């Protein structure tokens, strides 16, 4: 399970370190994909396979599912940690997430998201707002 928010710098070669806790759960095998929003999603290999199986079981049923498959698998990249615990971010993904020289790593339960710092701030703000509304609906404190 991943959680927490960490800010790192990309060096001029496009490498990012991940928090040590994350590395331990991602035994040197990571799959990077375009996130639904403007971010990069990183899955541990096992979790990625699980998602892939889930998709594959539905792939034959509809044309839209096939398109979905292409969108997901076609834009996915494998990445490995170097000896310092960093991964290189492919340029297409960096462009998609508009990531410059600073980056935010966010743990989101089963996966990890990589954000442009400013985009993340606004996304977090709206996310927290929504969470509050739901909490009030629960009567929870």
CA 28 to chain centre: 16
Q: Contact with its own copies (CB under 8 A): which of 9, 11, 46, 67?
A: 67
DSSP H stretches of helix in the chain: 20-25, 45-56, 63-74, 91-97, 117-138
Q: Degrees (nearest 5) of the Cα angle 4, 21, 54?
A: 80
Which one of 9-17, 81-89, 94-102, 133-141 is the stretch in contact with its own copies (CB under 8 A)? 133-141
Shortest distance (Å) from residue 100 CB to DNA = 13
Which entry of its own copies, DNA, none binds 20, CB below 5 to 8 A by partner kind? DNA
Q: What is the DSSP string of 84-100?
A: TSEEEPPHHHHHHHT--
Phi, psi (5° rounding) for residue 125? -60, -50
Interface with its own copies (CB under 8 A): 1-5, 21, 31, 36-37, 51, 54-55, 58-59, 63-64, 66-78, 92, 106-109, 113, 123-124, 126-128, 130-132, 134-135, 137-138, 140-141
Interface with DNA (CB under 7 A): 6, 8-9, 11-13, 17, 19-20, 80, 82-86, 88, 91
């Amino acid at each position: 399970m991943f959680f927490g928010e960490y800010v790192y710098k990309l060096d001029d070669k496009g490498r990012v370190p991940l928090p040590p806790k994350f590395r331990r759960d991602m035994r040197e095998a990571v799959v990077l994909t375009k996130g639904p929003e403007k971010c990069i999603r990183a899955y541990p290999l096992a979790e990625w396979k699980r998602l892939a199986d889930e998709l594959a079981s539905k792939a034959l049923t509809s044309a839209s599912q096939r398109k979905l498959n292409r969108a997901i698998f076609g834009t996915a990249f494998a990445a490995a940690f170097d000896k310092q615990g960093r991964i290189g971010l492919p340029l297409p993904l960096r462009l998609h997430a508009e990531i410059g020289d600073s980056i935010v790593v966010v743990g989101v339960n089963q996966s990890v998201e990589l954000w442009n710092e400013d985009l993340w701030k606004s996304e977090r703000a709206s996310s927290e707002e929504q969470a509050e509304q739901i909490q009030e609906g629960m009567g929870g404190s």
